[in-house]
Protein backbone atom coordinates (compact mmCIF):
# COMPACT_ATOMS: atom_id res chain seq x y z
CA UNK A 1 0.00 0.00 0.00
CA UNK A 2 1.13 3.52 -0.67
CA UNK A 3 1.40 6.31 1.87
CA UNK A 4 2.54 9.91 2.18
CA UNK A 5 4.03 11.38 5.33
CA UNK A 6 4.40 15.06 6.06
CA UNK A 7 6.27 15.14 9.36
CA UNK A 8 5.63 18.80 10.16
CA UNK A 9 2.05 19.66 11.04
CA UNK A 10 2.80 23.38 11.42
CA UNK A 11 5.59 25.64 10.24
CA UNK A 12 6.01 29.28 11.14
CA UNK A 13 8.30 31.47 9.10
CA UNK A 14 9.04 35.17 8.77
CA UNK A 15 8.20 37.01 5.60
CA UNK A 16 11.19 37.01 3.27
CA UNK A 17 12.71 33.89 4.78
CA UNK A 18 13.11 30.61 2.97
CA UNK A 19 10.73 27.71 3.39
CA UNK A 20 11.14 23.96 3.13
CA UNK A 21 8.30 21.51 3.61
CA UNK A 22 9.14 17.85 3.91
CA UNK A 23 7.36 14.96 2.26
CA UNK A 24 8.23 11.26 2.38
CA UNK A 25 6.37 8.66 0.40
CA UNK A 26 6.06 4.93 0.38
CA UNK A 27 5.32 3.20 -2.92
CA UNK A 28 6.94 0.24 -4.59
CA UNK A 29 6.81 1.63 -8.11
CA UNK A 30 7.49 5.05 -9.61
CA UNK A 31 4.76 7.38 -8.46
CA UNK A 32 3.41 10.62 -9.74
CA UNK A 33 4.07 13.18 -7.00
CA UNK A 34 2.25 16.42 -6.41
CA UNK A 35 2.15 19.40 -4.12
CA UNK A 36 -1.19 21.11 -3.63
CA UNK A 37 -1.99 24.23 -1.62
CA UNK A 38 -5.22 25.02 0.19
CA UNK A 39 -6.04 28.61 1.08
CA UNK A 40 -8.70 29.30 3.73
CA UNK A 41 -12.22 28.24 2.72
CA UNK A 42 -11.05 27.09 -0.70
CA UNK A 43 -10.37 23.86 -2.48
CA UNK A 44 -6.92 22.55 -3.23
CA UNK A 45 -4.89 24.02 -6.06
CA UNK A 46 -1.95 22.39 -7.82
CA UNK A 47 1.49 23.87 -7.17
CA UNK A 48 3.58 21.38 -9.12
CA UNK A 49 3.84 17.81 -10.32
CA UNK A 50 6.64 15.32 -10.93
CA UNK A 51 6.87 12.02 -12.72
CA UNK A 52 10.23 11.71 -14.38
CA UNK A 53 13.20 13.68 -15.67
CA UNK A 54 14.98 16.49 -13.84
CA UNK A 55 14.48 15.82 -10.12
CA UNK A 56 13.96 19.52 -9.46
CA UNK A 57 10.61 20.67 -10.73
CA UNK A 58 9.40 24.25 -10.87
CA UNK A 59 5.90 25.24 -9.87
CA UNK A 60 3.77 28.32 -9.58
CA UNK A 61 4.47 31.34 -7.37
CA UNK A 62 8.19 30.58 -7.02
CA UNK A 63 7.80 27.13 -5.52
CA UNK A 64 10.00 24.22 -6.50
CA UNK A 65 10.32 20.65 -5.30
CA UNK A 66 13.09 18.10 -5.40
CA UNK A 67 12.51 14.40 -5.90
CA UNK A 68 14.87 11.87 -4.36
CA UNK A 69 14.31 8.23 -5.17
CA UNK A 70 16.97 7.07 -2.73
CA UNK A 71 15.31 8.96 0.12
CA UNK A 72 11.72 8.46 -1.07
CA UNK A 73 11.23 12.15 -0.63
CA UNK A 74 9.68 15.07 -2.47
CA UNK A 75 10.45 18.21 -0.51
CA UNK A 76 8.95 21.60 -1.39
CA UNK A 77 10.98 24.82 -1.24
CA UNK A 78 10.56 28.51 -1.70
CA UNK A 79 13.43 30.97 -1.48
CA UNK A 80 11.51 33.93 -0.05
CA UNK A 81 8.00 33.65 1.33
CA UNK A 82 5.27 36.28 1.31
CA UNK A 83 2.43 36.65 3.81
CA UNK A 84 0.07 35.38 1.09
CA UNK A 85 1.85 32.01 1.20
CA UNK A 86 0.10 31.30 4.49
CA UNK A 87 -1.93 28.18 3.73
CA UNK A 88 -2.02 24.42 4.15
CA UNK A 89 0.27 22.47 1.83
CA UNK A 90 -0.42 18.89 0.85
CA UNK A 91 1.93 16.39 -0.68
CA UNK A 92 0.17 13.70 -2.71
CA UNK A 93 0.98 10.54 -4.61
CA UNK A 94 -0.72 8.87 -7.53
CA UNK A 95 -0.07 5.31 -8.53
CA UNK A 96 0.72 5.03 -12.20
CA UNK A 97 -2.47 3.14 -12.86
CA UNK A 98 -5.47 4.70 -14.45
CA UNK A 99 -7.75 6.72 -12.22
CA UNK A 100 -6.82 5.38 -8.80
CA UNK A 101 -7.17 8.68 -7.05
CA UNK A 102 -4.56 10.54 -5.05
CA UNK A 103 -3.18 9.58 -1.67
CA UNK A 104 -2.61 12.70 0.39
CA UNK A 105 -0.41 13.49 3.33
CA UNK A 106 -2.01 15.15 6.32
CA UNK A 107 -0.78 18.55 5.29
CA UNK A 108 1.51 21.21 6.73
CA UNK A 109 -0.01 24.48 7.90
CA UNK A 110 2.32 27.37 7.04
CA UNK A 111 2.02 30.68 8.84
CA UNK A 112 4.03 33.59 7.51
CA UNK A 113 4.57 36.47 9.92
CA UNK A 114 5.72 39.99 8.97
CA UNK B 1 -13.89 28.56 -17.53
CA UNK B 2 -12.21 25.59 -15.78
CA UNK B 3 -14.35 25.40 -12.69
CA UNK B 4 -15.63 22.79 -10.32
CA UNK B 5 -18.74 24.03 -8.56
CA UNK B 6 -20.15 22.51 -5.41
CA UNK B 7 -23.56 23.15 -3.92
CA UNK B 8 -24.38 23.97 -1.24
CA UNK B 9 -21.37 25.53 0.53
CA UNK B 10 -22.79 24.92 3.99
CA UNK B 11 -25.40 22.41 5.09
CA UNK B 12 -26.86 21.44 8.46
CA UNK B 13 -28.86 18.23 8.73
CA UNK B 14 -30.29 16.13 11.53
CA UNK B 15 -29.20 12.57 12.08
CA UNK B 16 -31.26 10.23 9.93
CA UNK B 17 -32.04 12.75 7.23
CA UNK B 18 -30.98 12.21 3.64
CA UNK B 19 -28.27 14.44 2.21
CA UNK B 20 -27.52 15.29 -1.41
CA UNK B 21 -24.28 17.04 -2.32
CA UNK B 22 -23.95 18.17 -5.89
CA UNK B 23 -20.92 18.86 -8.02
CA UNK B 24 -20.52 20.20 -11.52
CA UNK B 25 -17.56 20.80 -13.80
CA UNK B 26 -17.30 22.67 -17.08
CA UNK B 27 -14.15 21.03 -18.47
CA UNK B 28 -15.67 17.82 -19.90
CA UNK B 29 -13.39 15.85 -17.60
CA UNK B 30 -13.93 12.10 -17.65
CA UNK B 31 -12.92 11.42 -14.07
CA UNK B 32 -14.53 12.88 -10.97
CA UNK B 33 -13.92 12.28 -7.30
CA UNK B 34 -15.46 12.80 -3.90
CA UNK B 35 -13.16 13.32 -0.92
CA UNK B 36 -13.86 14.19 2.66
CA UNK B 37 -11.47 16.22 4.79
CA UNK B 38 -11.24 15.82 8.55
CA UNK B 39 -8.74 17.22 11.05
CA UNK B 40 -5.97 14.76 11.69
CA UNK B 41 -7.09 12.49 8.85
CA UNK B 42 -6.44 14.65 5.83
CA UNK B 43 -8.32 13.98 2.62
CA UNK B 44 -9.84 10.56 2.17
CA UNK B 45 -11.23 9.26 -1.10
CA UNK B 46 -14.88 8.21 -0.98
CA UNK B 47 -15.73 7.44 -4.61
CA UNK B 48 -14.30 7.80 -8.11
CA UNK B 49 -16.33 8.10 -11.27
CA UNK B 50 -14.61 7.27 -14.55
CA UNK B 51 -17.53 8.49 -16.66
CA UNK B 52 -21.32 8.33 -16.79
CA UNK B 53 -22.61 5.36 -14.75
CA UNK B 54 -19.05 4.10 -14.21
CA UNK B 55 -18.29 4.50 -10.54
CA UNK B 56 -15.86 2.82 -8.19
CA UNK B 57 -15.46 2.78 -4.44
CA UNK B 58 -12.59 4.66 -2.92
CA UNK B 59 -11.07 4.07 0.48
CA UNK B 60 -14.07 4.97 2.67
CA UNK B 61 -17.29 4.31 0.71
CA UNK B 62 -19.39 2.97 3.58
CA UNK B 63 -22.45 5.11 4.22
CA UNK B 64 -22.23 6.88 0.86
CA UNK B 65 -23.42 6.37 -2.64
CA UNK B 66 -22.93 8.35 -5.82
CA UNK B 67 -24.70 9.14 -9.04
CA UNK B 68 -23.31 10.30 -12.34
CA UNK B 69 -25.89 10.55 -15.11
CA UNK B 70 -24.17 13.31 -17.05
CA UNK B 71 -20.44 13.73 -17.54
CA UNK B 72 -20.48 17.20 -15.99
CA UNK B 73 -22.40 16.28 -12.83
CA UNK B 74 -21.44 14.02 -9.94
CA UNK B 75 -23.61 13.69 -6.84
CA UNK B 76 -22.82 12.30 -3.41
CA UNK B 77 -25.74 10.89 -1.44
CA UNK B 78 -25.90 10.10 2.24
CA UNK B 79 -28.92 7.97 3.05
CA UNK B 80 -29.83 8.49 6.71
CA UNK B 81 -26.91 10.70 7.68
CA UNK B 82 -24.89 9.98 10.79
CA UNK B 83 -23.11 12.39 13.10
CA UNK B 84 -19.74 10.92 12.13
CA UNK B 85 -20.37 12.08 8.58
CA UNK B 86 -19.92 15.66 9.72
CA UNK B 87 -17.03 16.82 7.55
CA UNK B 88 -15.95 19.00 4.68
CA UNK B 89 -16.62 17.30 1.36
CA UNK B 90 -14.62 18.10 -1.74
CA UNK B 91 -15.44 17.23 -5.29
CA UNK B 92 -12.65 17.12 -7.86
CA UNK B 93 -12.25 16.33 -11.51
CA UNK B 94 -9.40 15.40 -13.83
CA UNK B 95 -9.04 14.89 -17.55
CA UNK B 96 -8.43 11.18 -17.13
CA UNK B 97 -6.64 9.54 -14.25
CA UNK B 98 -5.10 10.96 -11.12
CA UNK B 99 -1.76 11.35 -12.90
CA UNK B 100 -3.41 14.39 -14.35
CA UNK B 101 -4.01 17.57 -12.41
CA UNK B 102 -7.05 17.48 -10.18
CA UNK B 103 -9.32 20.51 -10.09
CA UNK B 104 -11.11 20.94 -6.78
CA UNK B 105 -14.30 22.65 -5.80
CA UNK B 106 -14.52 24.95 -2.79
CA UNK B 107 -16.01 22.24 -0.63
CA UNK B 108 -19.27 21.68 1.24
CA UNK B 109 -19.19 21.89 5.00
CA UNK B 110 -21.75 19.38 6.28
CA UNK B 111 -22.84 19.28 9.90
CA UNK B 112 -25.00 16.36 11.01
CA UNK B 113 -26.60 17.05 14.38
Please indicate if any CB of chain A lies within 8 Å of the CB of B41. yes
Q: How far is residue A53's CA from residue A57's CA, in Å, rounded to a whole number?
A: 9
Q: Does the distance separating the beta carbons of B41 and A104 come in below 8 Å?
A: no
Q: Which residue has the higher pLDDT, A95 or A82?
A: A82
Please indicate if any CB of chain A lies within 8 Å of the CB of B24. no
Mean pLDDT of A81-95: 93
Choose among B27, B26, B72: nearest CA to B49.
B72
Task: Give pLDDT, residue B42.
Answer: 87
Judging contacts by C-beta atoms under 8 Å, the chain B residues touching residue A101 are: 33, 45, 48, 58-59, 98
Mean pLDDT of A32-61: 92
Mean pLDDT of A92-100: 70
Q: How far is residue B5's CA from residue A71's CA, in Å, rounded to a whole number?
A: 38
C-alpha distances out from residue A85 to A40, A109, B52, Å: 11, 10, 38
Task: Give pLDDT, residue A94.
Answer: 86
Q: Does the distance separating the beta carbons of A44 and B58 come in below 8 Å?
A: no
Task: Give pLDDT, residue A98.
Answer: 53
Task: Give pLDDT, residue A73.
Answer: 96
Task: Give pLDDT, residue A102.
Answer: 87
Task: Give pLDDT, residue A75.
Answer: 98
pLDDT of A32 above 80: yes
Nearest to B107 among A43, A51, A100 (CB): A43
Amino acid sequence: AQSVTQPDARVTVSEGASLQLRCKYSYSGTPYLFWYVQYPRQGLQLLLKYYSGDPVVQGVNGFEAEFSKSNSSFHLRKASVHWSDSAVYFCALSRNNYAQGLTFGLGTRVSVFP
Amino acid sequence: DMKVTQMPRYLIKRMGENVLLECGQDMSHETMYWYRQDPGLGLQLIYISYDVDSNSEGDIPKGYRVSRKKREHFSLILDSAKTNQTSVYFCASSLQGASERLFFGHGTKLSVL
